[in-house]
Structure 1
Amino acid sequence: MKPNILMITVDQMRFDCLSLMGHPVVETPNLDQLAQMGVLYENAYSATPTCVPARAAIMTGMSQRSHGRVGYQDKVPWNYESTIAGELSKAGYHTQCVGKMHVFPARNLCGFHNIVLHDGYLHHNRNKSANTADSHFDQVDDYLTWLRSIGGADLDLTDLGLDCNSSTVTRPWHLDEKLHPTNWAVTQSIDFLRRRDPQKPFFLWTSFVRPHSPLDPPPVYFDMYKDIPLQDPPVGDWVEELMAAANAELEGYNPTTVFGKVPKRRLDRARAGYYALITHLDDQIGRLINSLQEYGVHRDTVILFTSDHGELLGDHHFFRKSLPYEGSAKVPFILFDGTGRLGLREGSKVSEVIELRDIMPTLLDVAGAKAPSSMDGQSVIPLGAGREVEWRTYIHGEHAYGELSHHYGTDGQDKYIWFSQTGKEQLFDLRNDSCELNNLVNEPAWQDRLYAWRARMIKELEGREEGYVDSDRLVAGRKPQTCLSHIL
């Protein structure tokens, strides 16, 4: 029989928050072991680093130019002809998603045989005053319905008073740990292992909402980190400190503010809460892997672990995601082969730059399924096996984000950023400056590389409907779009 496939995604986890990566604080023993027995892809990126476009890349294998989501916009229908679950279903797999999908409409199966949903707090689903079908949040959140059936009809996602997008405020979980959304996702995934069709291979996508805010770790995990002294986040020489200071007051009242100085005590508590959520996730992922062993399918299963995007967590006084800096755009990526059939080099690391669009072709490769022509990604299995393969030299990423709308390119060694509204450019040497502290745009020794990256960006944006390129030059000030016209 074909290998089973378990895809585990977390939401908003930084690439460097693995103890295996040398993080000075975070403990992730189960993910570390998964990487030591599998392959760690060190330069994995989310080209459009927010939830909706990142998931479009995961589910379709397309670049953002192809799937059309070049910024964050809810309530745009998902009508893709080929999806990862749909293709695996055609290939004979029993398919199930547990947790976050973040598609529209919310109960769109996207090719799965069944979905058990918890997308977290989505504002448009919670709009009780809107007379639209998608506003009935109690119909699109299976976790909340379950929680109320177990703990009481008055329980809600907002009981802790934490904002769903705040990266600066934390408070420990107030109910039994078994009621936490992270535990629930694993409980539901284990239940699928119990009731799956034993005559078919399975594709299970366990999709966690955490460590995305609210930062609500169970108390035992928060206690692990709350008193540990933390180094200050990196702040580049290009950061506008006066603007960050001016925004500090805003951050105190508006948790969604993306830029500003935050009091160190509050920021350190938030970082402790974020790290605690990751260790909690790691333990629950360990619980899920143990269940694979108990059901006798561990040696028949390929596991892929990644995140949809990162979290800036105070880097350069920025928070959340969307921006092109490493904390936001770079993600952890691990591939483990319990079957031994893929020829992966156990414990190896891959330096080639990969992207979320590579997930669908990778898993179709695992299944021996036919790849649809719509995919832009490539299977990462040959890289993990050490085979010779023609691979991309860089990726192009972007995000519509108001004045901070941008396009970026990276090969894992350099990073070039062009801010489409202002025309500002940044260039970083990631080999020697992984924290992106020094902008090299004006350095004489880097001018050739700057011109080369600019030429690449012109090539990537040529013909785009926004009009970013004219007469072989980048044109600033064109209105950015969150979605390209072909999907609207």
Structure 2
Amino acid sequence: MMKRLLRKTLPIVVCLLQVAGMVTGQSIPKKPNIVYVLVDQWRAQAMGHAGDVNAFTPNLDQLASESIRVKNAVSGMPVCSPHRASLLTGQYPLTHGVFMNDVLLGTDYMTLPKVFNKAGYQTGYIGKWHLDGHGRNSYIPPVRQQGFGYWKALECTHDYNNSYYYAGDSDKKLKWEGYDVMAQVDDACQYIEDKAKKDAPFVLFIAMGAPHDPYQTAPEKYKAMFQDKELKLNPNVSKENKDKVVRDLKGYYAHMAAIDESIGKLRSKLKDSGISENTIFVFTSDHGDLLGAHGYWNKQQPYEESIRVPFIIHYPAMLGATGRFSDILLNSPDIMPTLLGLTGIAIPNSVEGVDFSQVLLGKKKDRVSQTFISCAQPFGQWDRRKGGKEYRGIVTHRYTYTRDLQGPWLLFDNQEDPFQLNNLVGQSGYERLQARLEKGLQQELKKRKDEFLPGMDYIKKWNYVVDESETVPYRTMNYEGKPLNE
């Protein structure tokens, strides 16, 4: 009966709204589009507008000057697959089970594209996926594409000049022409142009593999920009590692320069298509990159270079076009509900993240004072042989605090010590601060129902098969440990 009543009354309501719009001279706002650029391993500090004198990012700097910059955006489990699964589900890793790379995100989750599809959106995904667990070069059928309609993706590759993908429901492997960032952005521009002509709302993800290592593989044009450049290194890089850090950073910045140029191209296409004002444009990363900080490389660890990510959100129709900072503690599971909030779509009950949309819009005060970070199981580039270990922690607006299975591990005052050179755990005069942060961490563990067990306990719970380094093999095995015919 209720459904029949809605069918009868809804057209009348819509008509009244349209009449009201005519009377006031205002049109009913269209649903905003979303263009979400997700890069791989780009740390928050590595942009010109963020104060990095080495970086060449003019297009991102321009974007930042017209957008909200979330300066406390963190990757709660700073590694590829966990972030991506949390982004799509709005859940923490021990809920959706993707707490390592190269495992499958189950197909029964209410994911971001499924929600947007139900709301009348077209959805598309281009680039690196890393949520399928069936091998990094394997075909991903539509049933495991999590609801995305348009599809040109590969599980994972960092061979940027020899990069493949599968399109739609075809199991034919195709190749991106040249450096894949450029080709993927060209494809995204065509998608944007096509959708703009149809005047239908869309959500498009462009997931780039760069600037993740290997660092020395950007096109020569961009590598030449840094070849003879004198780099300024952070004080948490040791003299012993200087040569390697300089070499790696030059390649890292070259990839970034190429991506930056592509961001300019995407933004031009949105403007030329007449939809820039009503498009939510996001630039962010799945995690950062240590690149020699504290003597380490890559990610997973709770240092700033690893967990802190860029998050720039541009939405002129609702957020204006004046650059400003936001202090919100935005974590990976918070992105889905925040995007849904900005588009006025109901958030599924399965979501654990925080909807910050009303804070960004200036309609509510920010009441979140801490956010949760963790490593449930060290693996791969930071396995136990390299010092990897389980940890849980919190990040506040000022401090980072973590403990491992043995007890308190790291405590940094990020305001007074931005390069985290002074570990305050156990130091005289900081007992009350450490106790307060420990209490906050225990609150998070209780909220997350996280028993903080050894990593192998979670591996057994989810029936993952690992090798001698406690890493899920990805070359010849799928998520069930069965051989693949690649």
TM-score normalised to structure 2 length: 0.78
Higher RCO (CA 8 Å, separation ≥ 6 residues): 1
Q: Would you say 1:292 and 2:274 are equivalent positions?
A: no
Distance 1:290 1:406, change over 3 A: same
Deviation string, structure 1 residues 340-390 (Cα, Å, up to 9, x no partner): 2x2457211012211121211122123221110111222333332333335
**Which of 358, 372, 385 in structure 2 is aligned with 1:382?**
358
The answer as to whether partners of 1:91 and 1:367 remain within 8 angstroms in 2 is no
Cα distance in structure 2, aligned partners of 1:305 and 1:441: 35
Alpha-carbon distance in 1 for matches of 2:330, 2:393? 14
> After the TM superposition, which of the residue ranges 447-456 and 17-26 deviates more from structure 2?
447-456
Indicate the residue corresponding to 1:161 in structure 2.
none
Alignment of 1:33-432 (within 5 A): 33-69=62-98, 71-104=99-132, 106-107=140-141, 108-121=144-157, 145-147=173-175, 179-196=178-195, 198-215=198-215, 216-235=217-236, 262=241, 264-338=242-316, 340=317, 342-344=318-320, 346-399=322-375, 400-401=377-378, 402=384, 403-420=388-405, 422-432=406-416
Given that 2:327 and 2:397 are in contact with CA atoms closer than 8 Å, whether structure 1 keeps it comes out as yes
CA distance in 1: counterparts of 2:280 and 2:155, whole angstroms: 25
Aligned residue number for residue 164 of structure 1? none
Change (3 A) 1:335 1:227: same
Contact 2:68–2:324 (CA under 8 A) maintained in structure 1: yes
Equivalent runs, 1:450-465 vs 2, <5 Å: 450-462=434-446
Larger radius of gyration: 2
1:183/1:388 Cα in 2 relative to 1: closer, same or farther (>3 Å)? Answer: same
TM-score (ref. length: structure 1): 0.77
1:391 and 1:68, CA in 2 relative to 1: closer, same or farther beyond 3 A? farther
Deviations 1:140-187 (A, max 9, x none): 899994438x6xxxxxxxxxxxxxxxxxxxxxxxxxxxx101101101
- For residue 98 of structure 1, give the secondary structure of its aligned residue in structure 2: strand
Q: Deviations over 1:316-363 (max 9, x none)?
A: 11000111100000100011013x2x2457211012211121211122
Displacement, 1:453? Answer: 1.7
Cα distance in 1 between the residues matched to 2:118 and 2:460: 29
1:118–1:233 Cα change, 3 Å: farther
| Backbone CA RMSD of aligned residues | 2.9
CA contact (8 A) 1:234 1:316 kept: no
1:439 and 1:21 mapped to 2: Cα distance? 24
Give the structure 2 partner of residue 168 of structure 1: none
How far does the alpha carbon of each residue in 1:449-476 deviate from its partner, in whole angstroms, 9 at most, with x for none?
111222232333359888538xxxxxxx
Q: How far 1:119 sits from its partner (Å)?
A: 4.0
Alpha-carbon separation, structure 1, partners of 2:341 and 2:450? 35
> Is structure 2 residue 6 aligned with structure 1 residue 5?
no
1:277/1:438 CA distance change after superposition, 3 Å: same
Q: Which region of structure 1 is more displaced relative to structure 2, 19-28 or 112-121?
A: 112-121
Instruction: Determine helix, strand or coil for the equivalent of 2:355.
Output: coil
For the pair 1:445 / 2:429, whether they are aligned, the reply is yes
Identity of aligned residues (%): 27
- Alignment match, 2:21: none
Counterpart residue number, 1:254 = none
The alpha-carbon deviation at position 231 of structure 1 amounts to 3.2
Q: Say which SS state the counterpart of residue 44 (structure 1) adopts.
A: coil
How far apart, CA to CA, are the structure 2 residues paired with 1:266 and 1:449? 37
Hey, what's the Cα distance between the residues in 1 that align with 2:460 and 2:331?
20
Would the aligned equivalents of 2:157 and 2:209 in 1 still touch at CA under 8 Å?
A: no
Q: Name the CA distance, whole Å, in 2 between partners of 1:450 and 1:466.
A: 20
Contact 1:88 1:95 in 2 (8 A): yes
What CA distance in whole angstroms lies between the structure 1 residues aligned with 2:236 and 2:243?
17
Give the aligned residue type for 1:203. V
| CA–CA separation in structure 2 for the residues paired with 1:303 and 1:43 | 18
1:37 positional shift: 0.9
Letter in 1 for 2:64: A
In 1, Cα distance between the equivalents of 2:91 and 2:296? 28
What is the number of residues matched between the two proteins?
Answer: 412
1:300/1:314 CA distance change after superposition, 3 Å? same
- Matched residue SS, 1:314: coil
CA distance in structure 2 between the partners assigned to 1:101 and 1:138 by the alignment: 10
Structure 2 counterpart of 1:201, one-letter code? P
**Number of the residue aligned with 1:170:** none
Q: Tell me the distance in 1 between the aligned counterparts of 2:414 and 2:223.
A: 32
For 1:17, give the aligned amino acid. A
The AA in structure 2 aligned to 1:200 is: A
Q: 1:413 to 1:115 in 2, by over 3 A?
A: same
Alpha carbons of structure 1 residues 275 and 79: separation in structure 2 relative to 1, 3 Å: same
Quick one: distance in 1 between partners of 2:257 and 2:459? 35
Q: Return the letter of the residue paired with 1:221.
A: Y
For structure 1, list consecutive stretches of 5 or more residues without a partner in the other structure.
Answer: 124-136, 151-178, 246-260, 470-477
Superposition deviation, residue 218 in structure 1: 1.1
Task: State whether residues 398 and 413 of structure 2, in contact with CA within 8 Å, keep that contact through their aligned partners in structure 1.
Answer: yes
Per-residue deviation at 1:92? 0.5
Q: Which amino acid aligns with 2:390?
A: S
Return closer, same or farther for 1:213/1:306 CA change in 2, 3 Å cut-off. same
1:353 aligned counterpart, secondary structure? coil
Q: Note closer, same or farther for the CA distance 1:183–1:374 as it changes in structure 2 (3 Å cut).
A: same
Q: What's the secondary structure of 1:225's corresponding residue?
A: coil
